[in-house]
Amino acid sequence: MINPVGSDELKPLFVYDVNQHEALMKEAENLPSLLLTSQAAANAVMLGSGYFSPLPGYMNVADSLGAAEKMVLTDGSFFPVPVMNLTESVDGIEGAKRIALRDPNVEGHPVLAIMDVENIEEVSDEQMALMTEKVYRTTDPEHPGVAAFNSQGRFALSGPIQVLNFSYFITDFPDTFRTAVEIRNEIKERGWNKVVAFQTRNPMHLAHEELCHMAMDRTGADGLVIHMLLGKLKPGDIPAPVRDAAIRKMVELYFPPNSVMVTGYGYDMLYAGPREAVLHAYFRQNMGATHFIIGRDHAGVGDYYGAFDAQTIFKEEVPAGALQIEIFEADHTAYSKKLNKVVMMREAPDHSKEDFVLLSGTKVREMLGQGIAPPPEFSRPEVAKILMDYYQSINK
């Protein structure tokens, strides 16, 4: 089985020992506490789940700058983005060596983790601008990831953490949320050696489904992990429960039994395009995948990134040997009227645009909202039905 990144074993930061967990929860009651931002809370969940292994906690400013500039931390280890705990105010925690981190996304703000505070540093405007530019390739405040990153505050708290719960993900998505530890264990139990991972924040239409079949066939994979983002999205994205139902229906009807795991992870979308693609590959290796599908405009938003920047970054910027996971490079996939099947568009050079069934996301949403199913060459009817029900419910 593929090793986790930078280590022979996964290093999740969740406290699994029941007695230790209970003692830490009791200790937290008397500690100074900090209400996290949503992004810092998502980082804690990913650290606890083992996806960010072997990081021991939140990065200091030097490591954050190293991750942003060269994807290399001060100790020489590889990580593709800053993993920070930024806050607007340190009132009430100044001088504290140990603090409770509280969850901003759950009512009552329960303790999410306990942190040993090694540093509290003020991040300069220049440092924030540099990290923003390097990670997002833009400082445009209209970019949703840029806006979220820069809205958190300028005090950076760094140090190791012990994670005590997985926020709302475990309660809201009990059938889907899985840690890297759990996915790795299930891959082992299933006896899969070659495993393809597919990232999605949207429902899967026919082209996505066929892309997964192509990747499995061409890599000789034993199994597929459909791994969906369950955290914060931008307005207009389809809610995770609807997406989950649509994907499960597709898998049930159109994939062989026991060939697919439908899972999700607790993280907020960065919309950082190429750099986020590297992060996605990083934590897919940690969960046990050997191959990861990256297609056109992976993790992009608007027109900030070139169509295949998320593929070329692995060849041009990722340090040699940093990742073992292999990238399955995909082009846009669409149904060919000439060939009566879904193909990668670059593999049909004799086709013109008119030879494909192509619908914009806006057009598809309009059709679904009006109760009109997209053509079967675009979307499976059973999947379209779930999405139509959702769009009609919000349009009432």
pLDDT in tens, 52-90: 999 999 999 999 999 999 999 999 999 999 999 999 999
Q: What is the pLDDT of residue 20?
A: 98
Q: What is the pLDDT of residue 234?
A: 67
Q: 121 pLDDT exceeds 80?
A: yes
Q: 233 pLDDT exceeds 70?
A: no
Q: Kind of pairing, strands 155-163 and 119-122?
A: antiparallel
Residue keyed to tokens 């759990």: 182
Beta partners for residue 244, in sequence order: none
Share of residues in the chain with pLDDT > 70 (%): 99
Write 216-219 long-range contacts (CB < 8 A, 24+).
216/259, 218/328, 219/194, 219/290, 219/291, 219/326, 219/328
| Residue 232 and residue 193 share a domain | yes
| Residue 47 and residue 113 share a domain | yes
Q: 235 pLDDT exceeds 80?
A: no
CATH of the domain at 382: 3.40.50.620
Q: What is the pLDDT of residue 393?
A: 86
DSSP letter, residue 345: G
| Residue 115 and residue 195 share a domain | no
Q: What tokens were used for 141?
A: 């405040």
Nearest one of 217, 212, 205, 214 to 249, comparing CA atoms: 205
- Per the domain annotation, does 50 fall within a domain? yes
Q: What is the pLDDT of residue 355?
A: 93
Burial class of residue 6 in the structure, from the number of CB atoms within 10 Å of its CB (0-12 exposed, 13-18 middle, 19+ buried): middle
Q: What is the pLDDT of residue 269?
A: 87
Q: What is the pLDDT of residues 2-13, one digit of tens each?
A: 999 999 999 999
- Positions marked active-site: 201-202
Q: What is the pLDDT of residue 196?
A: 98
Mean pLDDT over each residue of the chain, to the nearest integer: 94
Do residues 81 and 272 make contact, with C-beta atoms less than 8 angstroms apart? yes
| Residue 145 and residue 130 share a domain | yes
Q: Which residues of 315-345 are buried (b: 16+ CB within 10 A; e: fewer)?
A: eeebeeebbebbbbbbbbbbbbeeeeebbbb
Do residues 121 and 288 make contact, with C-beta atoms less than 8 angstroms apart? no
How large is the average pLDDT for residues 169-182? 94
| Residue 226 and residue 139 share a domain | no
Do residues 146 and 139 make contact, with C-beta atoms less than 8 angstroms apart? yes
Nearest one of 157, 163, 162 to 87, comparing CA atoms: 157
Do residues 388 and 395 make contact, with C-beta atoms less than 8 angstroms apart? no
Cα–chain-centroid distance for residue 207?
21
Q: Kind of pairing, strands 195-200 and 98-102?
A: unpaired
CATH of the domain at 163: 3.10.400.10
Q: What is the pLDDT of residues 182-211, one digit of tens each?
A: 999 999 999 999 999 999 988 899 999 999
Q: What is the pLDDT of residue 369?
A: 85
Q: In Å, how far are 61, 139, 152, 277 from 128, measured between CA atoms?
A: 10, 10, 11, 21
Do residues 139 and 129 make contact, with C-beta atoms less than 8 angstroms apart? yes
- The count of domains in the chain is 2
What are the phi and psi torsion angles at 325 (to 5°)? -60, 140
Domain extent for 103: 18-170
Q: What band does 361 get if pLDDT is binned at 50, 70 and 90?
A: confident
- Per the domain annotation, does 391 fall within a domain? yes
